[in-house]
Structure 1
Amino acid sequence: MPPETPSRDQDRFDDEDFPAYTMGRAAEMIGATPGFLRAVGEARLITPLRSEGGHRRYSRYQLRVAARARELVDQGTPIEAACRIVVLEDQLEDALRINEELRSRPAAGTEYL
């Protein structure tokens, strides 16, 4: 019997960027209010997708980002600053990953030695 190919629904389930969560459910999951999610959206930290009816929908990735901002706000950081910190942390993580990838490559001209 050939292995089953994942269904389209399974692909969506595994997709970190699939907008699966309503605003109410997303707020509940990260321990915040819908107003907090609107605020991080207004600060352009995350941009929820909209359903056909115009309702905001959030992905797991967006919820992780919003949860990190909520942690900072809970520690007393103003929301705008918290959003900027999260963006900078994300950029630093990307830069460190790229730096590590470049360091692990052989130096130019040494691959034939």
Structure 2
Amino acid sequence: MNLPTTFEDLIAEANSLELYKKLVLQLNKDFLYANIDLDFDDDILPSSLKLILHETVYKLVQEKFTDYLNLLYIIDVPEHQIKALDGTDTLEMSEKVAFLILKREWQKVWFRHKYS
């Protein structure tokens, strides 16, 4: 599996395989497990998804760092990818973390689709 390198590529691939709604459902499921009050509508626009996810990650980093770490653990974002990010600009870093979250969630959805 070649992971998408941009948000647009990820969304295009999810739409082409008709798995976008499953990606949103997977996000909702993992946010619920992490006890974070965020529930995306099934038919949310990709641009809104990206914006709200980025905003949520930013707030978690700033205000609830333990919840942020718990979310990364539950979603299973690779630790080395998080450590590789430059943390000097929190806004930019949270955007990259939001994409890492989406990529990991996409992996889960794709593998479940491919091998079920």
Structure with larger Rg:
1
- Structure 1 or 2: more strand by fraction: 1
Q: When you count helix as a share of all residues, which structure comes out higher?
A: 2
User: Does 1 or 2 have the higher relative contact order (CA < 8 Å, sep 6+)?
Assistant: 2
Q: TM-score scaled by structure 2?
A: 0.30
Q: TM-score, normalised to structure 1's length?
A: 0.31
